[in-house]
Amino acid sequence: MGDKVRKTEEEWREMLTPEQYHVTRRSGTERAFTGEYHDFKGKGIYLCVCCGNELFQSDTKYDSCTGWPSFWAPSDDANVETEADVSYGMVRTEVKCSRCDAHLGHVFDDGPRPTGLRYCMNSAALDFVENDTEEKD
């Protein structure tokens, strides 16, 4: 995983767009069906927009019909952390980057096999790197 990434609020504001900052540093949520990756089909790796930590592989992404990019498992369980989120009168499980504590989204137990989980992420919290080593159709 590497060392924890720590920055001041001013440093985060300087490096992130206003939407990225709102989502990752203030636990915001982008509007459904508006994010760059909600309907994206590229093959590769999804990284934390704040620190570059590897979060998800494209082969675990699926269409959950919720309007946000959804995955059934992280690349490595150690790369994400979860904690209870009781904001807005709901009980949810928040997902954060384990390296920089960026808010990524939430995980729910209504996903597909093999895990039964739906990691419902914000596109604004993610970067994507195409994997050139995968076979092309």
- Across residues 108-123, what is the average pLDDT? 97
% pLDDT > 70, the chain: 94
Which pTM value belongs to this model? Answer: 0.91
Give strand ranges (E) for the chain.
Answer: 44-48, 54-57, 61-62, 70-71, 80-85, 92-97, 103-108, 118-121, 126-130
70 three-state secondary structure: strand
% pLDDT > 90, the chain: 88
pLDDT of residue 117: 97
Residue 137 has pLDDT above 50, yes or no: no
pLDDT of residue 89: 87
Q: What is the pLDDT of residues 16-44, one digit of tens each?
A: 999 999 999 999 999 999 999 999 999 99
Catalytic residue numbers read: 120
Q: What is the pLDDT of residues 78-95, one digit of tens each?
A: 999 999 999 888 889 999
pLDDT of residue 2: 63
Which residues on adjacent β-strands are paired with residue 108?
A: 118
pLDDT tier at 132, thresholds 50, 70, 90: low
Nearest one of 47, 88, 40 to 62, comparing CA atoms:
40
- In angstroms, the Cα distances linking 89 to 37, 43, 97, 130 are 28, 37, 24, 38
- Distance from CA of residue 136 to its chain's centroid? 25
